[in-house]
Amino acid sequence: MKRSIFRILIYIGLISRIVAVSISPIHAANDDDTNGKVRFILGDVQTKNNTMLDWDKTIINSSIFPNDSLKTNYKSRCEVVFPGTEIMRIGENSKIQIQKLPRQVPEVTLTLGSIWIKAFMGSNNHLKVRTPTATCAIRGTVYRLTADKSYTNFRVLEGTISVTPMGGQRQSPSDTTIMVNEGEELIIIRDFEQYRQLQEKKYRQYIEVETSRIDEYIQAQQDRDEEFAERQRKLIEEFARMQSIDFDSVDSLQVNKSTFDRTADSQIDWVRWNLDRDKKVKQP
């Protein structure tokens, strides 16, 4: 009787192991395949890979694998650390995908929203970033960018980035490479009318979101009132600024490179937060 019970326990143990292996995520068995790890999460951040139909909640210290996507929702942020000592932070209402294969240079596609990149000098990797209107290669620099399907804005805080516009309707790299240095801003627009319409839509959606939280808004303190007014003012100023810029034509794209006000830029909440986190990061 005792031998029978012992055999049953062995069989149960073997079956449990087989089931555990069979239901584990396909890419979770080999951590060597990872392209990075999520080191910080604020708010609602979600992950999706090729084997998933729906988005899933992102867990702190979880690994990021090739073809994984990350998205952040309203007032949400996260930080991803890559093996080659690059750090990427994702702003609210953003969506990115990691596309490179294991043991190759990580390539991030930003389809919507904002990211912040910090890469140390001497890094063996060269993190590449792709948007619907440009590709960017860097090494040893700090910069941020905002993008949607018709527009990309690069701002370089340290170092230099090399940007290749995505050639108009073909969405393939053009023959032009633009070097953007510290303190410079590069704006690339595929369709200015489409860009204008998208910005107006974003502004309306932002107002709708804020006013839909009217109960929370009424109960908030005075500093929230000021925050709302400040964000609204900056949105209007940015839209007006874009309307006044003179653009050059590069392969059916509208391109402008200029310097930006670093003092004013450092007052933006997203920038202040990233600069503060950068101070806490030590070079490996």
At 130-157, the pLDDT tens digits run: 999 998 887 668 999 999 888 899 999 9
Q: Are residues 263 and 126 in the same domain?
A: yes
Give residue 200's pLDDT.
Answer: 74
Q: Are residues 68 and 94 in the same domain?
A: yes
AA identity, residue 9: L
Give residue 283's pLDDT.
Answer: 64
The span from the CA of 21 to the CA of 19, in Å, is 5
Q: Which domain holds residue 200?
A: 194-241
pTM as predicted: 0.74
Judged against a pLDDT cut of 50, whether residue 3 lies above it is answered with no
Q: Are residues 80 and 118 in the same domain?
A: yes
Q: Are residues 104 and 212 in the same domain?
A: no
For residues 258 and 226, the model is more confident at 258
Q: Are residues 184 and 237 in the same domain?
A: no
Q: Are residues 49 and 105 in the same domain?
A: yes
Give residue 163's pLDDT.
Answer: 92
Plot region of 168 (φ>0 → left; ψ -120 to 50 → alpha; else → beta)? left
Q: How many residues does the structure list for the chain? A: 284
Question: pLDDT tens, 194-208?
Answer: 777 776 776 676 666
Q: Are residues 52 and 138 in the same domain?
A: yes
Give residue 66's pLDDT.
Answer: 84
Per mean pLDDT, which of 34-38, 57-61, 224-228 is the most reliable?
57-61
Q: Are residues 261 and 126 in the same domain?
A: yes
Give residue 238's pLDDT.
Answer: 63
Work out the percent of the chain whose per-residue pLDDT is above 70. Answer: 61
Q: Are residues 81 and 57 in the same domain?
A: yes
CB 101 within 8 A of CB 87: no
The verdict on residue 3 lying in a domain is: no
DSSP state for residue 101 in the 8-state scheme: P
Tokens of 182: 């510290």
Judged against a pLDDT cut of 90, whether residue 43 lies above it is answered with yes
Judged against a pLDDT cut of 70, whether residue 172 lies above it is answered with no
Give the end-to-end CA distance of the chain in Å, rounded to a whole number: 60
Nearest to 177 by CA among 134, 141, 144, 147: 134
Query: Could you tell me the CATH number of the domain that includes residue 145?
Result: 2.60.120.1440
Burial class of residue 109 (count of CB atoms within 10 Å of its CB; 0-12, 13-18, 19+) = middle
The verdict on residue 226 lying in a domain is: yes
The verdict on residue 115 lying in a domain is: yes
The verdict on residue 26 lying in a domain is: no
pLDDT mean over 39-52? 92
Q: Are residues 104 and 145 in the same domain?
A: yes
Q: Are residues 157 and 218 in the same domain?
A: no
The verdict on residue 57 lying in a domain is: yes
Tokens of 46: 């979600």
Q: Are residues 142 and 160 in the same domain?
A: yes
Per-residue pLDDT band at 2 (split at 50, 70, 90): very low
The verdict on residue 164 lying in a domain is: yes
Per mean pLDDT, which of 25-39, 79-93, 114-128 is the most reliable?
79-93
The verdict on residue 15 lying in a domain is: no
Q: How many domains does the chain have?
A: 2
CB 131 within 8 A of CB 149: no
Q: What integer best gives the mean pLDDT of the chain?
A: 76
pLDDT mean over 257-262? 93
The verdict on residue 96 lying in a domain is: yes
* Bridge partners (DSSP) listed for residue 86: 119
Question: pLDDT tens, 46-81?
Answer: 999 878 889 999 999 999 888 899 999 989 999 999
Work out the percent of the chain whose per-residue pLDDT is above 90. Answer: 36
Judged against a pLDDT cut of 90, whether residue 181 lies above it is answered with yes
